[in-house]
Structure 1
Amino acid sequence: MQLHDHMKYIDLGCWMACIPRYQWKGRPTERQLYASEQRIVFLLGSICQIYQIAGVLIYWYCKGRLATDTGTFVAQLSEMCSSFCLTFVGFCNVYAISINRNQIETLLEELHQIYPICTNNHYRCQHYFDMAMRIMRIEFLFYMIFYVYYNSVPVLLLLWEHLHEGYDLSFKTQTNTWFPWKVHGSALGFGMAVLSITVGSFVGVGFSIVTQNLVCLLSFQLKLHYDGISSQLVLLDCRRPGAHKKLRILIAYHCRILQLGDQVNDILNFVFGSSLVGATIAICMSSVSILLLDFASAFKYVSSLVAFVLYNFVICYMGTEVTLAASL
């Protein structure tokens, strides 16, 4: 077992994000090269995300702020803030992962070099591998379900309104976003609007999966090494010859793992900060939206609320686990 065996769900996230999978010296070379079609989808998704951030603000400025009664105004404001933060946090992931790609691959190469041999009884490689893969699998499935539901709601809602007499077609997109073409009453305009948000969220969700699974992978790698150091310290017998030399080796090894932990923080600090601020605002605003909006919109924001809670829970949980492992 090697480090690249842990990369299954990170590679799937890279495929969704339309970026090359992470490669380092010692990992088997990828057979399929980074195709130009992937570059195009990545650029389109990034452009759609940037436009959606601006479009949400423009829509609220043009329509949402003009609401006459207080309840509608608060509902429109909370819906705008939650949608804006959802897209903003997703774009922050795109920015942080893209700009730090070389540092991430360098870090993965260092972890690959010090990955313990499975025959070494001081390391519980299989245990941490199973735990990491289980969590990454759950995260991947959740975000895929969230993506499918989030982008299918507008079409399903329009179909439901079409099949039931007495309902006017609302032509509501995933989020209240302004578009420079006609959306309401136009099947083509509505389809283009839904498609642009779908492409943007496809890339955004892919980067979110990559980010979350990288946090999970790096955290469990640090825990693996901390656990191995603890095991070797417990079994260290000061009465045996060479114990002092062995202790110095373990201290140097521990310092190196601490340095790797600092590198993880340096790479992901921007993600941690943006997600904390964005999720705090989005969770508060989504809660207000759930209380004030109609059932379909409220249920949509419930899924967004759960996604934000899970996103930050994983980061906080992994940070706590690494801290506890380092203190033992």
Structure 2
Amino acid sequence: MATASKRSAREEADKQRKIQKGVDTTDAANKNQAKGSSAMQAGARKYPEPPFPKQHHAKPGHESEIDPAPLYDAPYYRGSEKLKGMVALITGGDSGIGRAVAVLFAREGADVAICYLTETTDAEATKAAVEAEGARCILIPGDVSEAAFCAKAVEETVKKLGALDILVNNAAFQIHSTKFEDLTDEHFDTTLKTNLYGYFHMAKAAVPHMKKGSSIINTGSVTGIDGSKELVDYSMTKGGIHAFTRALSGNLIEKGIRVNAVAPGPVWTPLNPSEKEATDVAQFGAKTPMKRPAQPEEIAPAYVFLASPHCASYITGEILPIVGGY
């Protein structure tokens, strides 16, 4: 009986080792396949994949200098008057996500005001793209960290375009600091004043001009959810933007103004090639499950959805992550 029991135990052990060997073989094959696999492509057209050309651009970054050029025009997106007759003000609207949002807002029937820092060439290109959609567009250069400029931008939007129905807070400053102790006061101050003060001042200036059905959309980040060890200050501001979104949404409910945020993962815009070292830029987005960064036109429809009273009338205080499968 004992001998039979020992035989049974050996047979069980042999069976377990056989299963183990099969799984080990499969794992090795899957790893080799994964190393050679390409990025996920699930859109209407094929999007660029790493490696990208090594590049590092001076702040604030110019879309006209980025290689490959970010894709923003969403040629397969068809408008359906979701924002007909509305007016939007977009900070950081000259390039990247801001440009893509401006184009889709125009395609949905909105007129657009664009705030930008000094990137005049990019801003003019965005204006031309918006006008090609049949919408009006005005350009307002200035620094969103200054309360006086935010007030001026809102007043100019209302005066020239007749109203303000949608505010998109999107302008941002980001640059890494590998060692926390190397993060200077000036660096920290610039990040906070652009990313937090800018959103606060712009919202405060905009709200008195908004009516029921208006909305504010803030650009957050996956770093505000997970943090980033080399972007301590930036992560801090993006987490603050998420909290600001939730708090302000509650404050403005009685006014009928919705407040939401989009929290993107890596997106191919001037922000990152002007933030990272050239070798890192070449692999930007490669570590996401989709193995590539998003293109701006893949993010912009979320802003349309949140801005439209036809689509999102019961949505406020939400943070919408678009992070490529994390």
TM surpasses 0.5: no
User: Which structure carries more relative contact order (alpha carbon 8 Å, separation 6+)?
Assistant: 1
Greater share of residues in helix: 1
- TM-score under structure 1 normalisation? 0.23
- TM-score under structure 2 normalisation? 0.23
Greater share of residues in strand: 2
